[in-house]
């Protein structure tokens, strides 16, 4: 027993052991001061998985800085139950615990569930199966689907629905339930995703989902049966405020905000170029030249920062399409100049510039839609060949 305990506590040989017997699915249970219900929940989960779960599996108890008897209970469970591991972190944060456990996992699919097992465990197979087959990249349980069966108080119901509505409005989230503690990710897509997640607490998985959606990853939703835990350790008010700060941060770093920022800089550059070139080329010539120069920079900046496209692949195609969008803007601004000329045969440069900027801003929405849906559209990703779904 001392040798086994030493192996579990020493990370180097534990990693070697994990690599030698990589499971299909690793279920992470993040815990903080859960001594009261930890053993009962883990044993219940272990029995469920042992009773015919069709993929090889491992349970990891991710203890993030508990100060009660949780670490001792977790170590004992790791010693006495097959395919149970204990991960100890000395800093708090559910996101930090998930990041550490998932990043070190050799499994094909990594999942997590709340220690209270509020979600019906029969939802686990529908959660991971689309990821094992290669059909989807992430999967989440949702308590807000019509077919879900949920038992919880009106306060938590209201907060949950309001929070998800905020995500839909502010971040254009397509998923329905960001907070359900029942999620899974394919391990091969995690490395390019988790490093960009900033939050270390409760907002971690919401941020993960938003970034995944922005990158075109496929998110599968599973309606779940869920019963509220009256002994939950979650501080609802504090968590809600933290989540709202996270939403504000993601909103500021979202594609629309980046597009607007690049647009402001492009407009300033355009204004300077127009004022410099107008005496030499005339109004129409200066407008065309200033738009052409700034359009190249605008397309390049949006390619890199707004839509996250890097490398030389499709670079020429993107700029050709951007040039066609530029022609649309040129037509709108020249049309505005023509209208102004009809109203005032000799307008001032300042008035001309104001009309051109107004016309350019009018074209901004069309330009964003064109860039998002056409210029930088992502080709439909091919589905990877299905992995082995035969029961083990």
pTM above 0.75, yes or no: no
Domains of the chain from N-terminus onward: 2-252 (3.90.550.10), 255-375 (no CATH)
pLDDT digits (tens), the chain, 392 positions: 333 333 344 444 444 444 447 899 999 999 999 999 999 999 999 999 999 999 999 999 999 999 999 999 999 999 999 999 999 999 999 999 999 999 999 999 999 999 999 999 999 999 999 999 999 999 999 998 889 998 888 877 888 888 888 888 888 899 999 989 999 999 999 988 999 899 998 899 999 999 999 888 999 999 999 998 766 555 666 676 777 787 888 876 667 777 777 877 888 888 889 889 999 998 888 888 988 888 888 888 888 877 777 778 878 888 888 788 778 777 877 888 888 888 888 888 788 878 877 777 777 767 777 777 777 765 433 333 333 332 32
Active site residues: 205
Contacts (Cβ under 8 Å, ≥6 apart) of 293: 269, 273
Q: Which residue has the tokens 């530029």?
A: 326
């Amino acid at each position: 027993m001392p040798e086994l305990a030493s192996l579990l506590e020493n990370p180097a040989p534990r990693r070697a052991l994990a690599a030698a017997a990589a499971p299909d699915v690793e279920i992470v249970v993040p815990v903080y001061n859960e001594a009261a219900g930890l053993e009962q929940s883990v044993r219940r989960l272990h029995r469920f998985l042992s009773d015919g779960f069709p993929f090889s599996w491992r349970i990891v108890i991710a203890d993030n800085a508990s100060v009660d008897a949780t670490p001792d209970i977790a170590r004992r469970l790791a010693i006495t139950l097959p395919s149970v591991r204990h991960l100890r972190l000395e800093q708090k944060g559910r996101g930090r615990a998930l990041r550490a456990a998932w990043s070190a996992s050799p499994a094909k699919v990594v999942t997590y569930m709340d220690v209270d097992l509020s979600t019906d465990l029969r939802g686990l197979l529908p959660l991971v199966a689309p990821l094992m087959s290669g059909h989807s990249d992430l999967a989440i349980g949702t308590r807000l689907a019509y077919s879900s069966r949920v038992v919880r108080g009106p306060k938590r119901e209201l907060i949950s629905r309001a929070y998800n509505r905020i995500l839909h409005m502010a971040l254009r989230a397509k998923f329905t339930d960001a907070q359900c503690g029942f999620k899974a990710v394919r391990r091969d897509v995690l490395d390019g995703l988790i490093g960009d997640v900033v939050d270390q607490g409760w907002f971690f998985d919401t941020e993960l989902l938003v970034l995944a959606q922005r990158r075109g990853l496929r998110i599968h939703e599973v309606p779940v049966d869920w019963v509220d835990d009256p002994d939950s350790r979650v501080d609802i008010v504090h968590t809600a405020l933290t989540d709202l700060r996270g939403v504000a941060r993601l909103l500021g770093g979202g594609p629309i905000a980046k597009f607007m920022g690049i647009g402001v800089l492009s407009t300033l550059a355009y204004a300077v170029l127009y004022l410099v070139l107008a005496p030499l080329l005339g109004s129409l010539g200066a407008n065309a030249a200033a738009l052409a120069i700034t359009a190249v920079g605008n397309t390049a900046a949006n390619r890199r920062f707004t839509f996250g496209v890097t490398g030389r692949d499709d670079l020429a195609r993107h700029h050709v399409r951007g040039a066609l969008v530029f022609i649309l803007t040129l037509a709108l601004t020249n049309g505005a100049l023509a209208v102004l000329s009809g109203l005032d045969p000799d307008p001032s440069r300042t008035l001309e510039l104001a009309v051109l900027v107004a016309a350019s801003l009018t074209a901004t929405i069309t330009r964003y839609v064109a860039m998002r849906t056409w210029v930088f559209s992502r080709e439909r990703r091919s589905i990877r060949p299905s992995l082995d779904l035969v029961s083990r």
